Homo-oligomer: A and B are copies of this chain.
């Protein structure tokens, strides 16, 4: 999945794996962050984020072989708290947790 942020000069695009995504409640996504320094620098200036993710393994609209989503949200980095501890236990390599609040989600196909 892609994570696009902007705020310092040009946009920055980072990536992680679909399988690393953890959902919480209706509109919270948690992503383990190992590096993501440029993403963090953008978020410090502008917390808006665009995510995209897709897989061929889930059927899309009208029986299409694959589906994909674009998500608009806001982001913050967590370095402590319940979500951080839970994610750290699951992904020991993380240095922080990227928490996304989903504002808009669109299934693309």
A17-B56, A56-B17 are known contacts. Are A11 and B2 too (CB-CB below 8 A)?
A: no
Main secondary structure of the interface of A (DSSP, over half): strand
- Chain B residues closer than 8 Å to A70, beta-carbon distance: 13, 15
State whether B15 touches A68 (Cβ < 8 A).
yes
Number of A interface residues in the complex (CB < 8 A): 18
Interfacial chain B residues near A56, Cβ < 8 Å? 17
A4 lies within 8 A of chain B by Cβ: yes
Given contacts A2-B4, A4-B4, A108-B15, whether A10 and B48 have CB atoms under 8 Å apart is: yes
For A48, what are the chain B residues with a Cβ–Cβ distance below 8 Å?
10
**B residues in contact with A50, CB < 8 Å:** 10-11, 13
